[in-house]
Amino acid sequence: MSDFDKSWKLSRGRFVDTISHLNTAQLGWRIHPASLTIGEMALHVAGVELSFGSQMSGLALDEAGKRLKAAATDGVVNELAFPYPSETITPELVAERLAFAHSVVAPLMEGTTEEAAAIQVVTALGPTVSGDLALARLSFHSAYHQGQAYLISTAPGFPA
């Protein structure tokens, strides 16, 4: 197990624990107009994982995979519409997409080859980094959003 894997499992586990009990209304609640909902945030986390993981593993993505990968950037770091309309974001969709991204990234985290660590990965923010730096980013990315999800879920007006 790599240090990246340990950190990723901890931070991703806390993120999933924070959101896994939420219902559709809670996943779709927007704290202010320019923010992501928790559901969008979860799909974004999965999208970044899939983006990095598919680049590092050479995985060809089908249409559902391309849509999830788009959640890494669209409506988050660019002006395009988020690829999942809010009314389609359910606990089931979030869980399924997070599980799919996990299945792609977990093998890389558990045992990255030298070749995969050296692959150049285009990040969600645009810069290109080596595969090992991509894994380092993934190891804390979900923790960043876990903190946001917690704050949103404790904000006044959050659905009961």
CATH code at position 137: 1.20.120.450
Phi-psi domain of 91 (left: phi exceeds 0; alpha: psi -120 through 50; beta: other): alpha
In a domain, 84, yes or no: yes
Residue 125: the pLDDT is: 87
Residue 144 corresponds to which tokens in the numbers above?
């960043």
Tokens 């997070």 -> residue: 98
Residue 126: the pLDDT is: 86
In a domain, 79, yes or no: yes
pLDDT greater than 60 at residue 19: yes
Buried-state track 8-30, b at ≥16 Cβ within 10 A, e below 16: bbebbebbbebbeebebebbbbe
Could you list the residue range(s) of the whole structural domain that residue 138 is in?
3-153
pTM of the entire structure? 0.95
Average pLDDT, integer, range 141-153: 97
Q: How far, in Å, CA of 154 to CA of 160, rounded? A: 10
Mind listing the pLDDT tens digit for each residue in 97-143? 999 999 999 999 998 778 888 899 999 888 999 999 999 999 999 99
Average pLDDT, integer, range 1-12: 87
In a domain, 159, yes or no: no
DSSP 158: -
In a domain, 147, yes or no: yes
The CB density around residue 58, as the number of other CB atoms within 10 Å, is 8
Mind listing the pLDDT tens digit for each residue in 37-75? 999 999 999 999 999 999 999 999 999 999 999 999 999
Residue 114: the pLDDT is: 85
Number of separate domains in the chain:
1
Q: How far, in Å, CA of 137 to CA of 12, rounded? A: 12
